[in-house]
């Protein structure tokens, strides 16, 4: 387990392991994920139903546990990105990134002057409500903020190198299900077209020296993908881990007690 910030993690090819939080924004969630040995949490706004008020609280839970957190916003709209950053997101993930131009707009929304065009909000959650020199605040925020662009369309794959080459983008993140749908082969992850898209994305990140991430459902898959070139490995999600562990235990209990009443 590493205690580095996300940007420092993204600068190495070492494996980083995390967990997808899509259901349980409880006060203990940061400590639970950290105690499990994770390096980061991926907190979802795209499919979870969480609102920004929840983000503001959840980020304090992750901070209390000293656990790096990536917030996946619902879209690349400026107000989604800037609000998540103002609430203290260290990592910012955007879905459906299709071009270098879009990636540049995302970086502009994340970063303060002179690296971007983010609207100024100081002495709020992201800088711990503390006063200070404006230039120092900008520098600290820009140094900390980490940008993850999701590659989950055929367009994104085609422009993967341009996206990875965008200054300020730290990591490409494959959205495997949406990518397979965009390619016209839903769920066919062994299809030659899907494999070709993954290979092209891997090559883009290697050429540009950027990190590469993906959600995985099994340990074996995570090991395999790391060998291929993925270094941010997000293992499963909170609801799925609970369901799987509970189902296994209850099934074993039923099998062991069947017919013994």
Catalytic residues: 47
Residue 133, CA distances (Å) to 111, 122, 187, 230 in order:
17, 10, 51, 39
Which distant-in-sequence residues (6+ apart) come within 8 Å of 214 by Cβ? Answer: 173, 174, 176, 225, 230, 232, 233, 234
Pick from 94, 124, 95: nearest CA to 110: 94
The tokens for 171 are 């990591």
Gap between the Cα atoms of 74 and 180, Å rounded: 20
Question: Can you say how many angstroms the Cα of residue 257 is from the centroid of all Cα atoms in its chain?
Answer: 42
Please give the backbone phi and psi of residue 164, each rounded to the nearest 5 degrees, phi first: -65, -30
Count the neighbouring beta carbons within 10 Å of the beta carbon of residue 64. Answer: 13
Cα of 42 vs its chain's centroid, Å: 5
Tokens of 135: 């230039």
């Amino acid at each position: 387990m590493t205690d580095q910030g996300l940007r420092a993690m993204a600068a190495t090819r070492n494996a980083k392991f995390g967990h997808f939080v899509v259901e349980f924004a409880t006060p203990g969630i940061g400590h639970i994920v950290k105690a499990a040995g994770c390096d980061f949490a991926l907190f979802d706004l795209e499919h979870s139903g969480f609102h920004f008020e929840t983000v503001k609280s959840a980020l304090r839970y992750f901070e209390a546990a000293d656990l790096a957190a990536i917030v996946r916003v619902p879209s690349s709209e400026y107000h989604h990105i800037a609000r998540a950053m103002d609430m203290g997101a260290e990592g910012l993930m955007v879905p459906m990134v299709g071009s270098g131009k879009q990636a540049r707009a995302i970086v502009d929304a994340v970063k303060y002057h002179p690296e971007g065009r983010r609207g100024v909000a100081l002495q709020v959650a992201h800088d711990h409500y503390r006063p200070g020199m404006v230039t120092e605040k900008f520098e600290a925020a820009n140094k900390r903020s980490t940008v993850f662009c999701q590659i989950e369309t055929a367009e994104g794959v085609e422009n993967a190198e341009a996206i990875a080459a965008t200054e300020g983008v730290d990591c490409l993140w494959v959205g495997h299900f949406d990518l397979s749908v965009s390619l016209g082969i839903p769920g066919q992850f062994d299809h030659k077209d899907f494999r070709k898209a993954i290979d092209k994305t891997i090559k883009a990140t290697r050429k540009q020296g950027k990190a590469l991430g993906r959600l995985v459902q099994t340990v074996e898959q995570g090991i395999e993908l790391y060998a291929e070139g993925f270094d941010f490995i997000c293992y499963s999600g909170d609801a799925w881990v609970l369901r799987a562990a509970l189902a296994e235990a209850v099934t074993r209990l039923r099998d062991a007690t069947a017919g013994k009443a």
